[in-house]
Amino acid sequence: MSFDRDSHDAMFATILSRLEQQDRESASYRAEVRETLRYISDQVTKTNGRVRDLERWRDTTKGKVIGVAVVVSLVISLLGLWVEIVSR
């Protein structure tokens, strides 16, 4: 018995082997996508931590600036009152 490329069995075997190859490629692609998503998730976690630190630093700096502004305002007000009292 010789191999007939045009027989139904041969065509079915060819189709089946191509489908299996596509399945392997698809599984490889899915694994690559999963790995990429994991990497992106790790980078987002790192970035969120950095942003949180920067926001904390900004809030601390704002508080310090407000504190200095209040102290300067009080000093100027007290100096103004002192000048009024002394000039009488």
Say which residues have a Cβ less than 8 Å from residue 10's Cβ, sequence separation at least 6: 3, 4
User: Quick one: pLDDT at residue 9?
Assistant: 82
**Count of all residues that appear for the chain in the document:** 88
CA dist., res. 78 & res. 47, Å (int): 46
What is the chain's pLDDT, residue by residue, as a tens digit (88 residues)? Answer: 576 777 888 888 888 999 999 988 898 889 999 999 999 999 999 999 999 999 999 999 999 999 999 999 999 999 999 998 888 7
Contact 10, 3 (CB under 8 A): yes
H helical segments located in 1-88: 8-87
Q: What is the pLDDT of residue 68?
A: 97
SS3 state at 7? coil
pLDDT of 1 reads: 55
